[in-house]
Structure 1
Amino acid sequence: MVELLLVISVLMGLYLAWNIGVSTFGSTIGISFGSTKIPKQTAVIFASIAAIFGVALLSNRVVDTISKDLIRLELSGLLSVLIAIVIIATIIVYRGIPISTTYVVVGAIGGYALISGAEINFLTFEKVLISMFLSPFGALLIAFTIFYIMKSLFAKEYSSIRKIESFEMKFFLPGFIALLILTFALGANSVGIVIGLLGGKISFSTLILIGVGGLILGIITWGSKTAHRLGVEFADLSPSRGFIAMLAAGLVMIAFVSTGIPVSTTQTLIGATVGVGLARKNVNVMQALKVSLSWLIILPAALVIISMLLAGLIGFVL
């Protein structure tokens, strides 16, 4: 029976890694080909390699935080949490909404612990939760600052349409490098969160295979829908603005992950995108603030609450 539960849990972990590939990785690739116009196949191949390095080199810190510092789940508890995450994550993927599953994972863990009485480190839980909500605004501030400084330094480049086009063409390579930085951080952070649930149950090398396999499969099979949503519909980014958004999000994520604190890749990237938009000063500030409030606070908070309730209910039934 124990072996069966473990197999089911591993399969769910693989599915959630696929979900990361569809939702989170898709959002990242969307910013790339929505701004820098890097060919999609090229972006996917190199970004996948960067993500694999992120998983292999840095995800162990997030895995330790989830599986050791935050909570130690028995198989029945692990199954309860995974079922809740799978249900909500499936709805997110089906709707093509670029919202991070990180909130769902952390919320489900907290909800199960509250209802079942499982021992959880509330200090770590509070730190993770606060960090997830702060990281988008950190990325927003950094992106805003970089854009403002760059526009001040290269004011002459914005004096005519011809000069603007020439200036933007220079960001093809920097945008590609920023994409690699961001997807490296994505692998360490987002995949680390998913495989972290299985930490201590199977070897780390097997966890890496599960995470990487699901990630790549996700972007290949269904990631285009989310990629189009964030890269084309949600964001209006030129090569320079795409570079700034990806770089700001990647640096913020690496800073958090290096300390073992997971954050939301998608929300951090959206925060950076909003920061660039605000710095351009050609948007309705009040409308932008309303959108920011919805995407960066209200929706994530709703996901946390819903996942807590669902995981707690499932844990009570099981």
Structure 2
Amino acid sequence: MALIVTLIFLSSGLFLGWSMGANDASNAFGTAVATRMVRFPTAAFLCSTFLIIGAVTSGSGAAEGLSQLGAINALPGAFTAALAAALTVAWMSAVGLPASTGQAVVGSIIGWNLFSGSPTDLGTLGRIAATWVVSPVLGAIFAMLLYKLLVAWISLTKPHLLSLDRNTRSGLLLAGIFGSYALGANGIGNVMGFFVEASPFRDLNLGPFEVSSVEQLFLIGAIAVAVGVYTYSRRVMMTVGDSLLTLSPLAALVVVVSHSLVLFLFSSTALESLLAGWGLPTIPLLPVSGSQAVIGSVLGIGLLQGMKGVRQIRWGVLGGIASGWITTPLIAAVIGFVLLFVVQNVFGQEVYQASRPLAVAVLAAGPAAL
């Protein structure tokens, strides 16, 4: 019975993982599929495999950064907040817009903070909001630099057309693998970060290996993301990869690499330690929007082509995407607040544990606490 209850409460996180796979996870291979350089079944398999590896091995950094915004301390509350984010992203996916799972998660956490009376860490919120601007800008900068370097290399080496096509296809596969790994490492905090404080699992000791409760959460969430990639990501792949700006295969390669670099920067604990060791400012480990990084990279390619590229950008599509970025956190916050009210007052579930004053806590614990 306890296992069934646990699975029920985790189901919203799994739904959110599926929504992320249907939306954000497509970015690693979206431009490759849209340019017909990689078949969708191949892209879905590689994306799912390396996304799971990235989530389990490197997902803790960004997840910990997100937890500073608000730590949901009751399993029913985590279920409800994750459900609010998942419903928001699923609706955006249904209309073909690449909504940011991270923005929906932030909105639902703020909704929980408001409902429970918990403070929202404004410093963390400010850093997260800053990434919504920085990630597309970095994507555009990386794309322009990489595109110039790639064009210069082609002009210098003058490869045969067939050789260039083969190398581009291989590059898209490798870049997609890197992007999938980076997305798993950066994005799994959005999927299962709700449940870290109220995790229903215990650490497992498997001989020479130890699997923590958080790693178990990340594995389950990553599998749900993989299911979303297989079942519903093709439509958003075409929106991101082709509707905004028609890309050549070389440009598609640059976009995938740029997007992957942005995610890697905001999720690598090794890079953070390296910068700190050199006495340099570190990059905050936070979940960032893969969709925003991809679109910034695509715009960077268009701007690099001058007025011709600017005219080719489908500004109406961009406006629709940008409006989704603005409304996503607001919608998630409202849905989260309403659902929390319903779950607590209609279904009688405790969606948050109110902190008690120290004196009250000591009296309740009895003499053993003294």
TM-score bracket for the superposition, by shorter chain length: 0.7 to 0.9
User: Residues 303-314 of structure 1: matches in 2 within 5 Å?
Assistant: 303-314=328-339
In the alignment, the residues of structure 1 paired with residue 224 and residue 261 of structure 2 have an alpha-carbon distance, to the nearest angstrom, of 24
Gaps of 5+ in 1: none
User: Residues 112-261 of structure 1: matches in 2 within 5 Å?
Assistant: 112-155=112-155, 167-200=164-197, 201-202=199-200, 203-258=213-268, 259-261=284-286
Give the aligned length: 314
In structure 2, the residue matched to 1:299 is 324
In structure 1, the residue matched to 2:361 is none
In the alignment, the residues of structure 1 paired with residue 93 and residue 318 of structure 2 have an alpha-carbon distance, to the nearest angstrom, of 22
Gaps of 5+ in 2: 201-212, 269-283, 345-370
Please report the RMSD computed on the Cα atoms of aligned residues, expressed in angstroms: 2.9
In the alignment, the residues of structure 2 paired with residue 21 and residue 167 of structure 1 have an alpha-carbon distance, to the nearest angstrom, of 31
Letter in 2 for 1:71: G
Q: Residues 235 and 187 (structure 1 numbering): CA distance in 2 closer, same or farther, change over 3 Å? A: farther
Deviation at 1:101, TM superposition (A): 1.5
User: Residues 34-183 of structure 1: matches in 2 within 5 Å?
Assistant: 34-35=34-35, 37-67=37-67, 69-75=68-74, 76-155=76-155, 167-183=164-180
Q: Residues 9 and 284 (structure 1 numbering): CA distance in 2 closer, same or farther, change over 3 Å? A: same
In the alignment, the residues of structure 2 paired with residue 52 and residue 83 of structure 1 have an alpha-carbon distance, to the nearest angstrom, of 21
Report the TM-score when normalising by structure 1. Answer: 0.87
Question: Do the aligned partners of 1:51 and 1:188 also contact (CA within 8 Å) in 2?
Answer: yes
In the alignment, the residues of structure 2 paired with residue 213 and residue 249 of structure 1 have an alpha-carbon distance, to the nearest angstrom, of 22
Higher deviation after alignment, 10-19 or 199-208: 199-208
Which structure's CA Rg is the greater one? 2
| 1:193-248 deviation per Cα after TM superposition (whole angstroms, max 9, x unaligned) | 11111113131232123212101111222222222333343442222111110111
Question: Do the aligned partners of 1:77 and 1:315 also contact (CA within 8 Å) in 2?
Answer: yes
Question: Do the aligned partners of 1:66 and 1:197 also contact (CA within 8 Å) in 2?
Answer: no
Identity value in percent: 23
In structure 2, the residue matched to 1:19 is 19
Report SS of the residue matched to 2:330.
helix
Q: Residues 106 and 126 (structure 1 numbering): CA distance in 2 closer, same or farther, change over 3 Å? A: same
Report the TM-score when normalising by structure 2. Answer: 0.75
Letter in 2 for 1:212: A
Q: Residues 79 and 245 (structure 1 numbering): CA distance in 2 closer, same or farther, change over 3 Å? A: same
| 1:91-114 deviation per Cα after TM superposition (whole angstroms, max 9, x unaligned) | 122223222221111112123313
In the alignment, the residues of structure 2 paired with residue 109 and residue 5 of structure 1 have an alpha-carbon distance, to the nearest angstrom, of 22
Question: Do the aligned partners of 1:21 and 1:217 also contact (CA within 8 Å) in 2?
Answer: yes
Q: Residues 188 and 269 (structure 1 numbering): CA distance in 2 closer, same or farther, change over 3 Å? A: same
Deviation at 1:138, TM superposition (A): 0.9
Higher deviation after alignment, 288-297 or 249-258: 288-297
Q: Residues 157 and 234 (structure 1 numbering): CA distance in 2 closer, same or farther, change over 3 Å? A: farther
In structure 1, the residue matched to 2:310 is 285
